[in-house]
Structure 1
C-alpha cells in the first residue's frame, strides 16, 4: 500500500460502505446487480450524505464570503491608511486591524476554500476505489471482488464508469458520455458563480477588487473542470456533476432566502414579502433592524405616531405665565 493510499484508507473504507449499502438496497428493490444505473444511484447516495454533512460548513462559507464582499470598502480604507508605510511596526498594525475587521464581521479569506478542500480527498479516494474495481481487486472494506468487478464493468449509456476520456479505448460512448458530463459540470459551475456575482452582491461590493476576483473565478473554475475532466473516470465525474447540481440548488435557495443586503436578490425578496404582506414583520426590514439594535443597547424604541411639533420661545413663555 502506497503513502497516498494509506492516507486515503479511512475515506476509501467509508466510500465503500456507502456505495455497497446503496447498491445492496437498490438491488433489494429490483434493480439490476450489474447495471450502471444502480451504481450511479449509489454514487448519488454518497453525494447526498457528504453534502448533507457539509451543510453547516456551506452556510458558514456563504455568510463569510458575503461578509468579505461587504467589508471591502473598510478594508480599502485600511490599505490606504498604510499605503506608504513599509516599516515592520506599521505592517504589523495593518495586519492587526485587518484581522480585527475579519473577526468583527465573522469573515475569513480562507472560508470559501474549505468546501472544495474537504471534497478533494473524496474525489481522489473515489478515484482509487474505481481504479481498484476496474482491476477487479477487492477494496479495503465491504467492496469484495464480486462487487468490484460489477462496479468496474458497469456502464451508463454504453460507457464504463471506470473509463477515462483521455483513453477511451476506441469506445465512442465513452467520448460522448464524458464530454456530455464535462459540459454539464462546466455549465452548472458557471451558473452557480453567476448567481452570486449577478444577483447577490451589493453595489458597494461591486466596486471592490474582490468582486473582480470573483468574476475571474466564474471563468477559471469551469475551465479547470473542463481540463481535469479528461483525466478522471466517468464515475468520479458523475460524483462531481451531482455535487455541482447540489451546490447550484443550495446556492439558489440561499440567495432567495438569505440575500446580501442591498443586492438585486434582496430587492426581489423585499418585493415578494411586500406582495405577501410580510415585509412589516420581516427581520430584514430596516425599521425592525433599528428597533432590534436599540433593544440590544437597552433603549426602548419610541412608538410610531404623530411627531411632536416644536414650541417657539414666545409661546413657551405664555404657557408659563398662564400656569402662574
Structure 2
C-alpha cells in the first residue's frame, strides 16, 4: 500500500461504515436492498454527516480569513514601502517586517488554508469509496464485495444503473448499440444542477461578501474568473462521472451553497454589502451594538396615511341617509 493509500485507509473505513449503516437503516425501513434510491439516500446521508462534522473546521477557516482581512491594510503598507525595491537588503527587510506584523497580530497566512487542506483527504476518501463501489470493487471495511455489487448494479427507476455515466451511454449511442436514455436524462439534469449550484455559491461571495478593498485588489479578478471557471469544470467533467458519484457531488454542492448563504448572512466580511445589510437588520431589531457599547436603533419611517377619495354630495347624502 502506498503512502496515499495508507493515509486514506482509516478515512475510507469510516466512510464505508457510514454508507453501509445508512443503507442498512433504509433497508430495514422497508426499502429495497438493491434499489437505486436506497443507495442514493445512503449517499445523501453520508455526505450530510461528513459535512456536518466538518463545520467546526469550516468556522475556523472563516475566522482565519477574517483575521487576514483585518491585517490586509497593514500588509499593504509594508508592500508599498518597499515597492520597486528589488535588492536583497530590501527584500529581507520587507520579509522581517511582514513576519513581525504576523507575530504581533497573531495571524498566519497558512492558517486560512489549513482547514481546506484537512478537508481534502476526507473528500478524496469519499470519492474513492463511491468510485470503487461503482466498479464493483470491495472496500477496505464493511463495504464487502456483495454490497459493492449491490451498489454498482443498483438502478434508478429500474432503468438507470448508478455505475453508468452520460459519456458511456453517449459512446454506445454513437456506435449504434443499445443505450439507456434514462441515464443520459438523469445525468444531464444533474450536471445542470451541479453547475447552477456552483455558480450561485461563487456569485454569493463575489456580489455580496467582499469589501471594497478586496474588490480593488487582484484577488477580486481571480474570484471573477473562478465564478465562471468552476461551473464549467463541473459541466465538462460531470458527463464522465457515474451517477452515484454525481449524487455525492450534487449533495455536497447544495450543502456548500446553503452553508455559504448562512455564513454570508450571519458572519459577513466586514465592509461588504452583506455586512451592511446585516447591520441594518440588527438595527431595526434593536440588537446592533455600536463601537461605544450603545445599542443603535433605526426607526422605520412612518407609513403614509391612506388618502381618502373625495366623495360627491349626492354620494355623501346616500351614504349618510336622509335627515329626519
Q: CA deviation at 1:47?
A: 1.2
**Paired residues of 1:34 and 1:150 also in contact (CA < 8 A):** yes
Structure 1 pair 27/201, CA: closer, same or farther in 2 (3 Å)? same
Q: What secondary structure, in the 3-state scheme, does the structure 2 residue paired with 1:192 have?
A: helix
Q: Give the length in aligned residue pairs.
A: 284
**Paired residues of 1:64 and 1:111 also in contact (CA < 8 A):** yes
Structure 2 residue 215 is the aligned partner of structure 1 residue 206:
yes
Distance (whole Å) between structure 1 residues aligned to residue 131 and residue 259 of structure 2: 31
Gaps of 5+ in 1: 290-324
Equivalent residue number for residue 125 of structure 1: 125
CA deviations on 1:51-102 (whole Å, 9 max, x unpaired) are 1221122112223334444544433322221122222232122233334445
Distance (whole Å) between structure 2 residues aligned to residue 22 and residue 264 of structure 1: 41
> RMSD value over aligned CA atoms?
2.6
Q: TM-score if structure 1 supplies the norm length?
A: 0.77
Describe how 1:67-216 pairs up with structure 2 within 5 A: 67-102=67-102, 104=105, 106=107, 108=109, 111-112=112-113, 114-115=115-116, 117-157=117-157, 158-168=159-169, 169=172, 170-216=179-225
Distance (whole Å) between structure 2 residues aligned to residue 228 and residue 119 of structure 1: 21
Q: TM-score if structure 2 supplies the norm length?
A: 0.77
Equivalent residue number for residue 16 of structure 1: 16
Equivalent residue number for residue 319 of structure 2: none
Distance (whole Å) between structure 2 residues aligned to residue 126 and residue 278 of structure 1: 42
Structure 2 residue 40 is the aligned partner of structure 1 residue 40:
yes
Gaps of 5+ in 2: 173-178, 295-324
**Paired residues of 2:163 and 2:243 also in contact (CA < 8 A):** yes
Q: CA deviation at 1:129?
A: 3.0
**Paired residues of 2:134 and 2:242 also in contact (CA < 8 A):** no
CA deviations on 1:296-318 (whole Å, 9 max, x unpaired) are xxxxxxxxxxxxxxxxxxxxxxx
**Paired residues of 2:133 and 2:148 also in contact (CA < 8 A):** yes
